Amino acid sequence: MSTLWAVDAGGSTTTATGPGGRSRRGSVNPASVGAQRADGALRSLFADLAARLPGGAGLGWIATATLDPVDPERELDRLRALAADAGLRGRAVVSNDALPWLVAPPLAGRGAVVVCGTGSGFLARDGADAPTRVGGCEYLGSDEGSAFDIGLAGLRAAVRARDGRGPETALAEAFRPTPALLARDLAARAFPKADVAALAPVVCRAWLEGDEVAASIVARAVDELVVGVAAAARSAGLEDEYLVAAGGGVLRGNPELLTELDWALRAALPVSGLVPVPDPDEAVLAALTACVRDGDIVLPPGLDGACAWLLDLTPDRAAPGPTAPERAVPAPEPPATGNGDARAAVLPEPRAAGPASTAPVAVGLCLAAWGGAGLDAAVAAAVEARVDAVDLPTDSTSGLVDADRWARDADYRAQLRAALRPVAVTCVSNSRDTQLLLGPHGPHTDPVLRGSPDQKRAHALRHALNAVRIAADLGAAQVRLMLGVPDLARWLSWWHSEVGWDDNVAAWREAAEPVLDLAAEHGVELLVEPHPKQVAHDPPSTRALLDAVADHRASVRVCLDVANIAATGHDPLGCVRGWGLDLGAAHAKDLQRWTGPGLPTGAGWSRYGPGPAIRFRALGSGDLPWPALVAALLDEGFTGVLYVEHEDALLPRRQSVANSVRLLRALLPDSQPQGRTW
């Protein structure tokens, strides 16, 4: 029996479903994020799928908003080349993102479909002929009723209210820093579609809270969706009662809006029922399953060559060329740090976005250790280390990225993208600014920001949201944030008190809500790193936090740092096991634990709570069993990035990183292993 896989590529989020569960990336639509970023995200997703398929081959369905049914060849060539480059083989259906909802039960080929996500589109079929399509012409030609449409209307209403040209609305205070500044900032962006669409939840919240202007925007959007369904059904010749499948990020995130649409459709059209599509990737997989016959894909009559195409994925095709002119990057001047990092190397040629390796596990580098040295020095170090990916810190204390300037200065955003071109940024992080969201809010965090608890919380939230936006702009699939902990005293039980660690978990869930919402809108996955100074500090507390956010549409997974958890006495191998698909990334550094009498001498020693002194080292210089840890990660089916962290006080950064990367390369497979051959 063939292994089945499915890819759902909407306007802001792309999800693959196959053996081992789901993988998520940002948009793969060049109209939303640009060609280079889109190709990098799709190549990375295909590589992840290939790593989980037996022999890299199977039967698939790629449902993508990028496909133009009038001229599909360019997109088919792009998909074929990227799949071949990633090692993905077999056969796949390629269609727009709405067709699988029509093919899958319960519509089973007859009815209408409405997609209301970043964009909008409509599809209908009478059960025999080729489907008819309405809309789907990108945001300049259509997308009425979509998140982009709602967000744009809400922003314009807010600007008009502030100007005195329109009625008062709560939206005038909802867009920060002001509606006018936000509008100018969005207009300066090369690809504003996803960012404008991210404003739709603000409009919907104002509607639910009784704002009349927001209500009129939502009502107009519902009317446009009904008009689109009616046009598609009429064109398809649907006269008797029919079902309508409805989905997309706007409807999934707003059940009240879905209910409004249901009522409006039944009132205006012969619609017998509305079928929600809560998991588009599951719908794509259901459509594929319905079309598999005797180990091959057989499409229903009228679909093949009209709105769906069968694609042979072969490994011998050339990979696509660069989507933007590549340039030689001169070696940055090394900073005069006096720490042994100065060098005069010439950087290799820059590479496209997305992890450079198609091996099961990529080797990355956390750039936080270059705080104070400048971004050019950090990028140069990553290129010299020949890692596949980097984690880019946006902490204001590191000086590598000025997130506040990024939020207001389009030229700076372009400069940042250019500076990072030689590396693949797969994760954006913030550990110090975002710590102030939950605290502590006393003198412990004054070195980051002096001020009241409210001022510290506002600072942290701004930096957390900016980190998500920067990740989306750079094409990074993940953002790693440390949001702090309200009360470390809850670690212990107190006499006759019902307060416990679960209260910290609940506080994290509440404080993280706007970050989760924005991450979901941008298709960026949020990583939680267990650490003694965080709500998630060990495996049980981390699983409790994951359970607390399981109902949110954002993807939240774990960035596992074994050394952090082992520093508080946990078994390092036990820390790795049992995460399954919840494991999104991992950090690699070694650990020394002091067992002698008295206090240790030497650099780098510290204490995590009441336990013995510890210090972090380069891989191979400490006590952790890294060969066994890497094997355990592979046994868990881990296919993410393993990031080297330099925190060794005894070795220069360059030597520490080189030692760690060399060890990981020796332990990790550089391609899919063949297993035993006898």
pLDDT in tens, 440-451: 988 888 999 899
Mean pLDDT of the chain: 85
Of the candidates 555, 561, 486, 567, the one whose C-alpha atom is nearest the C-alpha of residue 521 is 555
Check whether 401 has a pLDDT greater than 90: yes
pLDDT computed for residue 142 by the predictor: 84
Check whether 342 has a pLDDT greater than 50: no
Choice between 138 and 590, residue whose per-residue pLDDT is larger = 590
Contact by Cβ (8 Å): 242, 112: yes
Tell me the pTM: 0.56
Is 65 in a helix, a strand, or coil? coil
- What tens digit of pLDDT does each residue of 133-171 get? 888 787 788 889 998 999 999 999 999 999 999 999 999
Is 308 in a helix, a strand, or coil? strand
pLDDT computed for residue 319 by the predictor: 38
Of the candidates 414, 423, 358, 413, the one whose C-alpha atom is nearest the C-alpha of residue 389 is 423
Share of the chain above pLDDT 90, in %: 48
Of the candidates 13, 6, 48, 16, the one whose C-alpha atom is nearest the C-alpha of residue 28 is 13
Check whether 359 has a pLDDT greater than 90: no
- In this prediction, residue 1 has a pLDDT band, given cuts at 50, 70 and 90, of low
pLDDT computed for residue 33 by the predictor: 65
Question: Could you give the CA distance from residue 561 to residue 513 in angstroms, rounded to a whole number?
Answer: 24
pLDDT computed for residue 301 by the predictor: 83
pLDDT computed for residue 673 by the predictor: 66
Choice between 625 and 19, residue whose per-residue pLDDT is larger = 625
Find the range with the poorest average confidence among 89-98, 119-128, 323-332: 323-332
The number of angstroms, rounded, from the C-alpha of 245 to the middle of its chain's C-alpha atoms is 26
Contact by Cβ (8 Å): 303, 69: no
pLDDT computed for residue 187 by the predictor: 84
For 69-91, letters b (16+ CB in 10 Å) and e give beebeebeebbbbbbbbbbbbbe
- In this prediction, residue 67 has a pLDDT band, given cuts at 50, 70 and 90, of confident
Check whether 8 has a pLDDT greater than 80: yes
Of the candidates 309, 218, 232, the one whose C-alpha atom is nearest the C-alpha of residue 271 is 232
Check whether 345 has a pLDDT greater than 70: no
Check whether 77 has a pLDDT greater than 80: yes
Contact by Cβ (8 Å): 59, 4: yes
Question: Could you give the CA distance from residue 373 to residue 341 in angstroms, rounded to a whole number?
Answer: 10
Give mean pLDDT, residues 4-9: 90
The number of angstroms, rounded, from the C-alpha of 95 to the middle of its chain's C-alpha atoms is 23
- In this prediction, residue 130 has a pLDDT band, given cuts at 50, 70 and 90, of confident
Check whether 663 has a pLDDT greater than 90: yes
pLDDT computed for residue 554 by the predictor: 83
Tell me the two tokens of residue 663: 């060890």
Question: Could you give the CA distance from residue 366 to residue 395 in angstroms, rounded to a whole number?
Answer: 13
Question: Could you give the CA distance from residue 567 to residue 343 in angstroms, rounded to a whole number?
Answer: 34
pLDDT computed for residue 170 by the predictor: 92
pLDDT computed for residue 20 by the predictor: 72
- In this prediction, residue 608 has a pLDDT band, given cuts at 50, 70 and 90, of confident
Cα–Cα separations (whole angstroms), residue 29 to 36, 210, 250: 10, 35, 18
Question: Could you give the CA distance from residue 299 to residue 70 in angstroms, rounded to a whole number?
Answer: 19
pLDDT computed for residue 51 by the predictor: 79
pLDDT computed for residue 346 by the predictor: 33
pLDDT computed for residue 315 by the predictor: 54
pLDDT computed for residue 12 by the predictor: 62
pLDDT computed for residue 144 by the predictor: 92
pLDDT computed for residue 136 by the predictor: 76
- In this prediction, residue 213 has a pLDDT band, given cuts at 50, 70 and 90, of very high
Q: What is the DSSP letter of 445?
A: G
- In this prediction, residue 354 has a pLDDT band, given cuts at 50, 70 and 90, of very low
Question: Could you give the CA distance from residue 575 to residue 44 in angstroms, rounded to a whole number?
Answer: 27
Tell me the two tokens of residue 168: 């008062």
Check whether 337 has a pLDDT greater than 60: no
Check whether 474 has a pLDDT greater than 70: yes
**Cβ neighbours around 500 below 10 Å, total:** 13
Is 238 in a helix, a strand, or coil? coil
Contact by Cβ (8 Å): 317, 36: no
Strand order in 14-18's β-sheet?
21-25, 14-18, 4-9, 57-64, 89-95, 308-313
Choice between 46 and 231, residue whose per-residue pLDDT is larger = 231
Share of the chain above pLDDT 70, in %: 90
Give mean pLDDT, residues 542-554: 88
Output phi, psi for 57, to 5 deg: -125, 150
Check whether 325 has a pLDDT greater than 60: no
Check whether 358 has a pLDDT greater than 90: no
Q: What is the DSSP letter of 335?
A: P
Question: Could you give the CA distance from residue 642 to residue 636 in angstroms, rounded to a whole number?
Answer: 14
Check whether 642 has a pLDDT greater than 60: yes
Q: What is the DSSP letter of 297?
A: E
User: DSSP strand E in 174-262: where?
Assistant: 242-247
User: DSSP strand E in 330-388: where?
Assistant: 362-366
Residue at token pair 């079929």? 125
- What tens digit of pLDDT does each residue of 507-540 get? 999 999 999 988 888 878 899 999 988 999 889 9
pLDDT computed for residue 11 by the predictor: 60
